[in-house]
Amino acid sequence: MNKFQNENLLDRLVRLLIAELLLVGGYYWLGGGWQALVIFLGFVMLFTAAMGFCGLYKLIGLDTKKMYPNNPGKVLIVTFGFLLLALPVVGSYYSDFFTKKFFIEDFNKMNGLYKQTLFNTGQDKRAESIDNYNQLVVEFANFENKYKKYKPVIIRGDDKFDADLLNVSQKLTEAKDKVNNGDLKALHKDLEFIRLVFQDILKRNNFSMIGIALVDFHDSMEVVIEAGDKKDSQAVSRAYPDASEKLRLVEEMANDEEIQGLRADLNSMQDAAISNKPEELPTKGAKLKASFIKVYLKRN
């Protein structure tokens, strides 16, 4: 077999690394035809690396084994070895973490508008209901279009997901005339169906409700931290109430030692802002972020 090989050792190591990137990236981050293509290319790179032979090289008359016969140094080999071992583990872990996080953020954005619509129809507030409904229709269409084409790992095994989205879409279409001219309180009862569908999606796919609340808190927390990094005490104080309220919702579900530490770090930033100690804000913001990561990883 050696006489047919046309790839040197460095070439093969690079191909293995590229194969891992394509396989992890395709599996976690892509959907549909693009996913199939990228994963196929990943296996091609893996196969050519394992065999030491590249058909394309053969066609164009390239042979890296003859051109560069010397093996790379030990340091480079060890470095590649470490990367080849670490990339599947680290890449898979963080891809799983962030694809789940992004899904929750998209869901919360859409679900927040649904909750506002549900609330305002229940309060018989026509103008607010129309405004929230129109925003919800747009945001739900964005959510539906994205996740019908691309399925993150967390929902990939859910064979009811697309049907549930279709049912919600139909319910929203039916609500159009009612939200503009009909009985809002009757519509409020009709829209309760959507809440049950959303709850079932989350339950079927083992989403932690506290995890969803933590993602909601995260966005408000980042506003506080950003203001702290700028040493802007007033901006920290302005952002604090929203973050504090969203953390309170987390505390209602669980309030263990880590979450108590998260609260203490958030309050510490506010105390520094009130005491006009802007030089302390960046350090306290970094500590708050570290506390959040610790809580989030434990809960998800």
Parse the chain into domains and list their residue ranges: 2-72, 95-204, 209-299
Q: How high is the pLDDT of residue 219?
A: 81
Q: What is the pLDDT of residue 1?
A: 56
Look at domain 209-299 and name its CATH class: mainly alpha
- pLDDT of 101 reads 86
* Spatial contact of 69 and 9, defined as CB atoms under 8 Å apart: no
pLDDT of amino acid 161: 96
User: pTM higher than 0.75, yes or no?
Assistant: no
Low-confidence ranges of the chain (pLDDT < 50): none
Tokens of 250: 């987390």
In this prediction, residue 83 carries a pLDDT of 94
Give the pLDDT confidence score for residue 4 in this predicted structure.
86
Distances (CA, A) of 189 to 62, 88, 96, 121, 193: 70, 48, 36, 9, 8
Q: Which residue, chain included where needed, has tokens 């032979």?
A: 53
- The confidence score (pLDDT) of residue 59 equals 93
End-to-end CA distance of the chain: 48
Give the pLDDT of residue 212.
77
Phi, psi at 71, each rounded to 5°: -75, 150
